[in-house]
Amino acid sequence: MIKSSKSYHTLKKQIQVSLDFVLLCCHSMPALNAYMKAVEKGEADKIPNPDYFESLAEHSRLKQIIPNYKKNIGRFLVLSSFSYFESYVSDVIKELFLINGGDKVFLNAVKNKRGDHFKVIANLNEKAKKLREVKDKSKTAKYKKIIDELTKSDYKFPSELLAFYGLFQLQEKLGNLKAVDIPNMMENALGVEITTHERSEFNRIRDLRNHIAHGDIREVDLSEAIQINDFFKDFAGKVDQHIVRNFFVIESAT
């Protein structure tokens, strides 16, 4: 039994890799500072050679960079966290389709099922025609009786017949999914209950990401960036449980 999506496992790994890098940097900077002080005091010949770069940077250059390293890492962490979450949203929906053979197979199956329902509807037109009128409140009991009978007869109402179009639009949306649309898509297409806090926090982080990407914000406190990282992990976990529980279901045995 699937308990969480592969997409969520990927997201968690990406988040952990980012945090591992932050941990490494936070250990490395104090060590570098101590090594430079030792060199300046004559207690060491030079700081260790850097990876990748062919020559050592001047101490003055490193001292200029070090004070802001946490805020720079915070900026990079926000960018990566948001990107990972965006990818997760697209990937988990693709995974939803894949459960039932992929987008083309799944869409064709749902379309064919709708065609079968039209045949059922044709045979039940005598009962259904009594519902084809402007709603009259005085006939509530009559409507309920007919609706109950049609439901038991596997009659599909318009809202159910439109399901194919909703599924088709969801698949189409993946090709041009914008971050601003993610909360509404989750609510309207997938039925995820998003709290006011989750929506406002997502929008706040999206604005922050945009300002960083456009160069308006160059520094983000590392503590805030880690909190953002945690938010996306928790938010994705909630979304994932809802999607797996309600949508990761095989609809055709063949």
Q: Does pLDDT of 228 surpass 90?
A: yes
Q: Mean pLDDT across the stretch 56-73?
A: 94
* Model pLDDT, residue 49: 92
Q: Are 92 and 8 in contact (CB under 8 A)?
A: yes
* Model pLDDT, residue 157: 86
Q: Mean pLDDT across the stretch 195-205?
A: 97
In tens, the pLDDT along 147-181 reads: 898 888 888 888 888 888 988 999 988 888 999 99
Q: Does pLDDT of 116 surpass 90?
A: no
Q: Does pLDDT of 55 surpass 80?
A: yes
* Model pLDDT, residue 151: 87
The per-residue pLDDT of the chain, averaged, comes to 92
Q: Does pLDDT of 253 surpass 80?
A: no
Q: Mean pLDDT across the stretch 98-112?
A: 87
* Model pLDDT, residue 242: 96
Q: Does pLDDT of 252 surpass 80?
A: no
Whole-angstrom CA distances from 5 to 111, 193, 240 are: 26, 19, 7
* Model pLDDT, residue 86: 96
Q: Mean pLDDT across the stretch 205-223?
A: 94
Whole-angstrom CA distances from 97 to 39, 175, 231 are: 60, 14, 26
* Model pLDDT, residue 50: 92
Whole-angstrom CA distances from 51 to 54, 55, 87, 172, 217 are: 8, 9, 30, 44, 29
Confidence band of 106 (pLDDT split at 50, 70, 90): confident
Q: Mean pLDDT across the stretch 36-64?
A: 93
Q: Does pLDDT of 127 surpass 90?
A: no
DSSP assignment of 47-78, as one string? PPPPSS-SSPPPHHHHHHHGGGHHHHHHHHHH
